[in-house]
Amino acid sequence: MREGLREEGLRMAVMVAGSLVLGAVVNGVRSDSVPWEYEPKAQRMSRELARVGIKEGETREVAAGAIELGEFAGMVREKSVLVIDARAPLFYRMGHVAGAINLPREGFASFLERSGLLGKDKSRAVVVYCQSETCEDSRMVAESLRRVGFTSVRVFREGWRRWLESGEPVEKPS
Amino acid sequence: MKARGGVDWMVVVSRLVFSGVFVWAGWGKLRDPLAFADSVAAFRMLPHPVFVSLVALGVPVLEWMTAVLLWVPRWHRAARWVMTGLFALFAVALSVAQVRGLEIDCGCFGSGEPTKWSVPLAWGRAVGLLGWAIWYGWRVRGRSADQ
């Protein structure tokens, strides 16, 4: 009985240890690997900002600068706002607010450089959104845009879900 | 509910469901390991960031391994214990999150969008699966996987 338990315990230990080793091997070969010491989102965002020359402190969520659906929709129709979609590229490609540029939290620096936004008028009105009220990415991206010099950045907190429900114009790949 | 050949279909169906759940859950986590690490960190239960990384790397592979080994006679019993342990661990973590009132995505089947129902629903699912796993263990006690 005791021998059997020891054998099962050993097998369970092999399963757990084997999973860790295999997990580490898989992690070592993939491009989107997890660092051995996990970095919170805010720290990763700071690293992204450092790549575009902004080096002080952590990027934190911001509470101010929200915009409501009605005003946001009006600005989109008039094309008087730079719209930033802070969701992951996969979701952006599935559909986004008409005219929006994809600038996700992960890989922020690369996306920012590729977008050409750094060379544009930084006093222009910018609105950032992500999926819904519970996602924090829009606030983190908005704060990061402020730190790279954009002076009028607001967050559409209700996000893509509310936009879609409202029937406002969207762009989808053909 | 055994057929004439001695196969216990309730056990076979249970094992199929458990394996399916683990393959699906592992795939969801492996697709975006960093998002899963964010979900693990959101529980605020692990004392050091290294543990967050270890859980994010190890759990999806352990889920796949369990899904496979549930069908291997010599490893079936150990896989059963690991499966029950995983469900118990998820249920405890989600209970703590619920008590703390955290509005997070559990990351159980990959990253998703947290709502106020995410944690209670995931908790209910984990407790249900834990109960099923305990019943399964009782049902197959003393048997190997091919029975």
Whether residue B47 is contained in a domain is answered as yes
Residue of A10, A15, A30 to mutate, interface with B, max B Cβ within 10 Å: A15
Q: What's the rounded Cα separation, in Å, for the pair A164 and B10?
A: 44
Whether residue B3 is contained in a domain is answered as no
As for how many domains chain B has, the answer is 1
Q: Domain spanning A41-171 has what CATH number?
A: 3.40.250.10
The per-residue pLDDT for range A12-28, each reduced to its tens digit, is 999 999 999 999 999 99
The per-residue pLDDT for range A32-83, each reduced to its tens digit, is 889 999 998 888 888 888 887 777 655 555 555 899 999 999 999 999 999 9
For range B6-22, the mean pLDDT: 92
CA-based nearest residue to A127, from A82, A91, A86, A69: A82
Domain encompassing residue B38: 9-139
The per-residue pLDDT for range A82-136, each reduced to its tens digit, is 999 999 888 899 999 999 999 998 889 989 989 888 888 889 999 999 988 878 8
Q: What's the rounded Cα separation, in Å, for the pair B126 and B123?
A: 5
pLDDT at residue A1, rounded to an integer: 64
In chain A, where the domains are located: 1-36, 41-171
Contacts 24+ apart (CB under 8 A), B137-143: B137/B80, B137/B81, B137/B84, B139/B8, B139/B10, B139/B11, B139/B14, B140/B8, B140/B11, B140/B76, B140/B80
Partner residue opposite B82 with nearest CB, options A12, A24, A34: A12
For residues B29 and B60, is the Cβ–Cβ distance under 8 A?
Answer: yes
CA-based nearest residue to A117, from A94, A136, A141, A96: A141
Residue of B48, B113, B115 to mutate, interface with A, max A Cβ within 10 Å: B113
User: Reduced to 3 states, what is the DSSP secondary structure of residue A126?
Assistant: strand
Residue A93 Cα, gap to closest chain B Cα (Å): 17
Strand order in the sheet with A152-155: A101-102, A82-85, A125-129, A152-155
Q: What's the rounded Cα separation, in Å, for the pair B36 and B110?
A: 6
User: Which residues 6+ apart lie within 8 Å of A47 measured at CB?
Assistant: A39
Whether residue B144 is contained in a domain is answered as no
